[in-house]
Amino acid sequence: MLERHLRVLRLVIRNEPIGIVQLAEELSIPDHKVRYSLRVLEEEGLIEPTDRGATTTEDLRGYVDRANGTIDDLRDRVTELAVARDGAGDATAADAHASEP
Protein backbone atom coordinates (compact mmCIF):
# COMPACT_ATOMS: atom_id res chain seq x y z
CA MET A 1 0.00 0.00 0.00
CA LEU A 2 1.32 3.43 -0.88
CA GLU A 3 2.55 5.64 1.91
CA ARG A 4 -0.06 8.23 0.92
CA HIS A 5 -2.88 5.70 1.41
CA LEU A 6 -1.52 4.93 4.88
CA ARG A 7 -1.32 8.63 5.74
CA VAL A 8 -4.94 9.07 4.65
CA LEU A 9 -5.99 6.01 6.66
CA ARG A 10 -4.20 7.27 9.79
CA LEU A 11 -5.99 10.59 9.54
CA VAL A 12 -9.37 8.92 9.00
CA ILE A 13 -8.76 6.76 12.09
CA ARG A 14 -7.88 9.81 14.20
CA ASN A 15 -10.60 12.15 12.92
CA GLU A 16 -13.49 10.08 11.60
CA PRO A 17 -15.72 11.08 10.04
CA ILE A 18 -13.53 13.28 7.88
CA GLY A 19 -14.12 14.73 4.42
CA ILE A 20 -11.96 15.05 1.35
CA VAL A 21 -11.28 18.77 1.72
CA GLN A 22 -10.11 18.43 5.31
CA LEU A 23 -7.94 15.41 4.44
CA ALA A 24 -6.35 17.29 1.54
CA GLU A 25 -5.66 20.33 3.70
CA GLU A 26 -4.25 18.38 6.64
CA LEU A 27 -2.05 16.20 4.42
CA SER A 28 -1.10 18.96 1.96
CA ILE A 29 -2.01 16.83 -1.05
CA PRO A 30 -4.42 17.55 -3.93
CA ASP A 31 -8.09 16.54 -3.66
CA HIS A 32 -7.83 14.09 -6.58
CA LYS A 33 -5.05 12.15 -4.82
CA VAL A 34 -7.12 12.01 -1.62
CA ARG A 35 -10.10 10.71 -3.62
CA TYR A 36 -7.94 8.00 -5.18
CA SER A 37 -6.53 6.95 -1.80
CA LEU A 38 -10.03 6.86 -0.32
CA ARG A 39 -11.22 4.69 -3.21
CA VAL A 40 -8.32 2.26 -2.69
CA LEU A 41 -8.98 2.10 1.06
CA GLU A 42 -12.70 1.57 0.42
CA GLU A 43 -11.98 -1.23 -2.08
CA GLU A 44 -9.80 -2.87 0.60
CA GLY A 45 -12.76 -2.67 2.98
CA LEU A 46 -10.92 -0.44 5.46
CA ILE A 47 -13.09 2.66 5.21
CA GLU A 48 -16.56 3.54 4.03
CA PRO A 49 -18.07 6.79 2.86
CA THR A 50 -20.81 8.46 4.88
CA ASP A 51 -22.70 11.73 4.51
CA ARG A 52 -20.32 13.27 7.05
CA GLY A 53 -17.08 11.87 5.57
CA ALA A 54 -14.96 8.75 5.58
CA THR A 55 -15.14 6.37 8.53
CA THR A 56 -13.33 3.14 9.36
CA THR A 57 -14.95 -0.28 9.05
CA GLU A 58 -15.05 -3.31 11.31
CA ASP A 59 -12.60 -5.00 8.89
CA LEU A 60 -9.90 -2.48 9.78
CA ARG A 61 -8.95 -4.28 13.03
CA GLY A 62 -8.39 -7.57 11.19
CA TYR A 63 -6.30 -5.81 8.55
CA VAL A 64 -4.14 -4.15 11.19
CA ASP A 65 -3.73 -7.45 13.06
CA ARG A 66 -2.67 -9.23 9.84
CA ALA A 67 -0.26 -6.42 8.96
CA ASN A 68 1.27 -6.52 12.44
CA GLY A 69 1.64 -10.30 12.14
CA THR A 70 3.41 -9.91 8.81
CA ILE A 71 5.73 -7.29 10.27
CA ASP A 72 6.51 -9.56 13.23
CA ASP A 73 7.24 -12.46 10.85
CA LEU A 74 9.57 -10.27 8.78
CA ARG A 75 11.35 -9.01 11.89
CA ASP A 76 11.88 -12.59 13.08
CA ARG A 77 13.19 -13.64 9.68
CA VAL A 78 15.63 -10.71 9.52
CA THR A 79 16.87 -11.60 13.00
CA GLU A 80 17.36 -15.25 11.97
CA LEU A 81 19.29 -14.18 8.87
CA ALA A 82 21.47 -11.80 10.88
CA VAL A 83 22.26 -14.51 13.44
CA ALA A 84 23.03 -17.00 10.66
CA ARG A 85 25.25 -14.46 8.92
CA ASP A 86 27.09 -13.60 12.13
CA GLY A 87 27.51 -17.27 12.96
CA ALA A 88 28.87 -17.99 9.49
CA GLY A 89 31.27 -15.08 9.84
CA ASP A 90 32.50 -16.44 13.17
CA ALA A 91 32.98 -19.90 11.68
CA THR A 92 34.88 -18.49 8.71
CA ALA A 93 37.15 -16.47 11.00
CA ALA A 94 37.75 -19.53 13.18
CA ASP A 95 38.58 -21.65 10.11
CA ALA A 96 41.02 -19.01 8.87
CA HIS A 97 42.64 -18.75 12.28
CA ALA A 98 42.92 -22.56 12.61
CA SER A 99 44.72 -22.85 9.29
CA GLU A 100 47.40 -20.33 10.30
CA PRO A 101 50.83 -21.89 11.09
**Per-residue pLDDT tens for 52-83?**
999 999 998 888 888 889 999 999 999 999 99
pLDDT confidence band for 87 (50 / 70 / 90): confident
pLDDT confidence band for 90 (50 / 70 / 90): low
Do 68 and 28 belong to one domain? no
- Bridging pattern class, strands 47-50 and 53-56: antiparallel
Do 8 and 47 belong to one domain? yes
Predicted TM-score (pTM) of this structure: 0.69
* pLDDT, mean of residues 46-53: 96
Do 73 and 39 belong to one domain? no
Instruction: Please provide the size of the chain in residues.
Output: 101
Domain interval for residue 38? 3-57
Residue 88 has pLDDT above 90, yes or no: no
Average pLDDT, the chain: 88
Structural domain tally of the chain? 2
